[in-house]
């Protein structure tokens, strides 16, 4: 009997099998359903090599995280780098058929031999709609509503604080939470079920549903106590003054206000990031400055001393001075011309 038990233990703990405690996360993206793929092995978080990585592998990650369908498999190095300088590449040659419920169920190699962080895998999943802001201007301001049992309902302000607002703003891919007026007027209050009350968030939760709260649907609130949240609008950019949307003076959106970008240090890598983010193909900007062609901007100059590697998916991920800090005037506004393909 002892020999049989020893054989069983040897089989169950053999080197080819992964521990059931393994987990996965997406890091550095705008929300929990997009970013660089990281896995946990023996208490250590590390990345996944993109050798052979495809949408089938991404679909498993999206399913495991409770996100929507897999949309893209970008390079993981296009997201904000890890602050852990000793982080390792922990997996290589992942091969999923796309039906697995977790990444640990896929074939994979933990003996990483020829991958660096330049080959980290990334995933973009569709963000599932389980919370929304209603009644405000834009999707980042309004009455908080959550989806439960297939029906949208409101959240009572009892127990609500700024940490809970931070979770909602992050979950929606909006900017930071700001202090806001209390909800609601007759025109903006809800009229359906009140699903949630006594939400107690630390601010670090991935979603509002992860916060401790009272029993769903059990409360003593009225719609006069519906919760209202305001987030800064997410980062956005545009080209203005050109013949098409893919050429013009560069403007970025910050705190709901459009402003220009100073050309100090601006070059080909920065042009490429802008064109990529706008889905406008490659940069066609000539070597000479092009901003005079599109005229000077007015109002705020938001960014200065921007430095990109060219791999970033968003200009926001590039290095730059603090928002609004610069030594420029509008004669130095950046202009960009893209191929539109």
Average pLDDT of every residue of the chain: 82
> Average of pLDDT values for 25-40?
88
Q: Which superfamily is assigned to 131-231 in CATH?
A: SRCR-like domain (3.10.250.10)
* pLDDT given at position 281: 86
Q: Is 80 exceeded by the pLDDT of residue 22?
A: no
At a CB cut-off of 8 Å and minimum separation 6, what does 10 contact? none
Residue 4: per-residue pLDDT: 39
CATH 3.10.250.10 domain extents, the chain: 23-125, 131-231, 236-337
Residues 84-128 have pLDDT tens digits of 777 888 888 999 998 888 898 898 887 877 888 888 999 999 877
Taking alpha carbons only, the member of 164, 229, 219, 158 closest to residue 193 is 219
Q: Is the pLDDT of residue 290 over 90?
A: no
Residue 6 has pLDDT above 60, yes or no: no
**What average pLDDT does this structure show over 27-32?**
82
Which pTM does this prediction carry? 0.52
Comparing C-alpha atoms, which of 131, 126, 125, 129 is closest to residue 164?
Answer: 131
* CB-CB neighbours of 215 under 10 Å: 9
Pick the closest to residue 252 from 162, 323, 195, 191 (CA basis): 323
Q: How confident is the model at residue 14 (pLDDT cuts 50, 70, 90)?
A: very low
Of the spans 13-17, 178-182, 304-308, which averages the highest pLDDT? 304-308
CB 142, CB 82: distance < 8 Å: no
Per-residue pLDDT tens for 125-181?
Answer: 987 778 999 888 778 888 999 988 888 999 998 889 999 999 998 888 788 888 765
Residue-wise pLDDT for 60-87, tens only, equals 999 988 888 898 898 888 887 777 777 8
Distance CA 293, CA 269 (A): 21
pLDDT score for 288 = 43
Cβ–Cβ < 8 Å for 146, 209: yes
For residue 1, give every residue at least 6 positions away whose Cβ sits within 8 Å of its Cβ, in sequence order, or none. none
User: Does the pLDDT value for residue 316 go beyond 60?
Assistant: yes
pLDDT at 164: 92
Confidence of residue 291 (pLDDT cuts 50, 70, 90): low
The CATH class of the 236-337 domain is alpha beta
User: What 3-state class would DSSP assign to 84?
Assistant: coil
Residue 23 in this model has a pLDDT that exceeds 80 = yes
What percentage of the chain has pLDDT greater than the value 70?
89
Measured CA to CA, the distance from residue 42 to residue 19 in angstroms comes to 8
- Could you list the beta-strand ranges (E) of the chain: 23-28, 34-41, 44-48, 70-72, 89-95, 107-109, 122-125, 131-135, 141-148, 151-155, 177-178, 194-196, 228-231, 236-241, 247-254, 257-261, 301-303, 335-337
Joined together, the tokens standing for residue 95 give 């091969």
- Give the model's pLDDT for residue 229: 92
Nearest Cα neighbor of 132 from 114, 119, 120, 148 is: 148
Q: Six-digit token pair at 264?
A: 């100090």
Chain centre to alpha carbon of residue 19: 28
- H/E stretch holding 170 reads helix 162-171
Q: What fold characterizes domain 23-125?
A: Mac-2 Binding Protein (3.10.250)
Structure letter (DSSP) for residue 102: S
- Stretch 241-248: mean pLDDT, rounded? 88
Angle at 338 between CA 335 and CA 341, to 5 degrees: 165
Distance CA(101)–CA(82), nearest Å, equals 26
pLDDT greater than 70 at residue 299: yes
How does residue 3 score in pLDDT terms, banded at 50, 70 and 90? very low
Of 186, 188, 67, 68, the residue nearest 133 (C-alpha)? 188
Quote the pLDDT of residue 187: 67
């Amino acid at each position: 009997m002892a020999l049989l038990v020893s054989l069983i233990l040897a089989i169950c703990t053999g080197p080819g099998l992964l521990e059931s405690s393994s987990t996965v996360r997406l890091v550095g993206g705008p929300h929990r359903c997009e970013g660089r793929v990281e896995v946990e092995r023996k208490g250590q978080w590390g990345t996944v090599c993109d050798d052979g990585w495809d949408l089938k592998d991404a679909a498993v990650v999206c399913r495991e995280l409770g996100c929507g369908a897999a949309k893209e498999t970008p390079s993981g190095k296009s997201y904000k780098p890890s602050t852990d300088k000793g982080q390792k590449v922990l997996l290589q040659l992942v091969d999923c058929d796309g039906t697995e419920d977790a990444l640990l169920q896929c074939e994979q190699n933990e003996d990483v031999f020829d991958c660096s962080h330049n080959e980290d895998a990334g995933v973009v999943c569709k963000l599932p709609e389980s919370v929304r802001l209603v009644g405000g201007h834009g999707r980042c301001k309004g009455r908080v509503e959550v989806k439960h049992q297939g029906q949208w309902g409101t959240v009572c302000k009892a127990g609500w604080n700024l940490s809970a607002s931070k979770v909602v703003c992050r979950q929606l891919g909006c900017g930071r939470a700001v202090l806001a007026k209390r909800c609601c007027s007759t025109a903006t209050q809800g009229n359906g079920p009140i699903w949630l009350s006594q939400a107690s968030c630390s601010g670090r939760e991935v979603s509002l549903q992860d916060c401790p709260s009272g029993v769903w649907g059990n409360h003593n609130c009225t719609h006069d106590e519906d919760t209202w949240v305001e987030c800064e609008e997410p980062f956005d950019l545009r080209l203005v003054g050109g013949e098409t949307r893919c050429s013009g003076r560069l403007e970025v959106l910050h705190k709901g206000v459009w402003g220009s970008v100073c050309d100090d240090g601006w070059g080909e890598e920065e042009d490429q990031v802008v064109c990529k983010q706008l889905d406008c193909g490659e940069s066609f900007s000539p070597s000479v400055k092009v901003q005079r062609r599109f005229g000077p901007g007015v109002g705020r100059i938001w960014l200065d001393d921007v430095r990109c590697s060219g791999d970033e998916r968003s200009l926001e991920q590039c290095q730059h001075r603090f928002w609004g800090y610069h030594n420029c005037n509008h004669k130095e506004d950046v202009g960009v011309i893209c191929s539109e393909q």
